[in-house]
Amino acid sequence: MKIDRMLTIIVMLLNRSRISAKELAELFGISVRTVYRDIEAIDMAGIPVISYPGNNGGFGIIENYKLDHQLLTLNNLCSILSALKGINSTLEDVELESSIEKLRNLIPKDKTDHLDLHMEQIIIGTQPWAYTTKQKQRVKVIQNAITQSQLITMTYRNYANETSSRQIEPMSLVLKGYTWYLFAYCHLKTDFRVFKISRIIDLQVEDIIFTRKEKSYREIDEASKKQVSLTSITLKFTPQVRTRVEDAFDRENIEFSTQEN
């Protein structure tokens, strides 16, 4: 959409000293003439765009305006890119990868070293060490079904080791810790359910389109939190598993015996 493209151009102009019409045309897959029309519209909207002539020319925004209207700092962009990279390491979504590439283009060429360093300092990995290709592929299949609003038929094993055939309307993928869940409307139960993806035995995406229901996973999540009654328990562990205990619990919640101290 034109408005999306123009907003992206504005952010790029705010975060870079200058950018050429040719570079913008190649980035968005449009003609140079269209770039000039977009720049003119941006200027008419009250954003002071400067045109620099010559081989190293292009478009920019006057410095005082940039300081007063900066939308994203360099560190903001680096943090967003780190988070998106971590998410896409699991999803491998083409559109998300395209968004990442566009965000990278917002960063001035002389600041790419800063980005590379930031990406090495903060690495977000959303998948566990033993995450398999099959699991990743299943998440991608479900994501595509959600995007296309296609029904899913599956065999599901619940926590009691009982299996059942379900036809569901997939609504949301939810990542909790290292575990993926699927929020969906279940035809068998005629209600909304949350399914643990690792418990899905067989899965088939049907050529049947459904109309998405007006229900959000966040509503279900908030309601479940209010209904839960917490019980305090004390667990005892042998000294040999101390490291694993400290991995799972905050230190202030751990009491060591006198022998351990």
What is the pLDDT, as a whole number, of residue 134?
Answer: 76
In three-state secondary structure terms, 175 is: strand
At CA 194, angle to CA 226 and CA 165, rounded to 5?
Answer: 145
pLDDT per position in the chain (261 positions), as tens? Answer: 566 788 788 878 877 778 899 989 988 888 999 999 999 888 888 888 888 888 778 998 887 665 444 556 777 778 888 878 777 776 677 777 777 777 777 777 777 888 788 777 777 666 665 556 777 788 889 999 999 999 999 999 998 899 999 999 999 998 887 788 999 999 999 999 999 998 999 999 999 999 999 888 888 777 776 766 778 889 999 988 988 888 888 888 888 876 554
Task: Say what angle helices 94-104 and 74-91 make with each other, to 10 degrees.
Answer: 160
Coil/strand/helix, residue 23: helix
Q: Is 115 helix (H, G, I), strand (E, B) or coil?
A: helix
In what helix (H) or strand (E) does residue 49 lie, and over which residues does it extend?
Answer: strand 49-52
Q: Exposure of 190 by Cβ count < 10 A (0-12 exposed, 13-18 middle, 19+ buried)? A: exposed
CA distance 185 to 215: 9
Q: Rounded to whole angstroms, how far apart are CA atoms 221 and 195?
A: 13
N residues, the chain: 261
Read off the amino acid at residue 19.
I
Residue with tokens 């969906």: 184
Q: Which CATH number fits domain 133-227: 1.10.10, 1.20.120, 2.30.30, 3.30.300?
A: 2.30.30
Nearest to 144 by CA among 94, 83, 79: 94
pLDDT of res. 126? 63
Helices (H), the chain: 2-15, 21-28, 32-44, 63-69, 74-91, 94-104, 112-121, 133-148, 217-227, 242-248
Q: Which residues pair with 76 in a beta bridge?
A: none
Residue 235's SS3 state is coil
- Furthest C-alpha separation in the chain: 78
179-186 vs 49-52, strand pairing mode: unpaired
With respect to CATH, is domain 2-69 assigned 1.10.10.10? yes
Token pair listed for 233 = 């328990």
49 close to 60: Cβ distance less than 8 angstroms: yes
Tokens matching residue 247: 């991995």
pLDDT at position 189, please?
Answer: 94
For position 86, what pLDDT does the model report? 75
Residue 105, token pair as written in the block: 């283009």
Residue ranges covered by each domain of the chain: 2-69, 74-121, 133-227
- Residue 38 in tokens: 């977009």
Is residue 135 classed as helix, strand or coil in its secondary structure? Answer: helix
What is the value of pTM for the model shown? Answer: 0.57
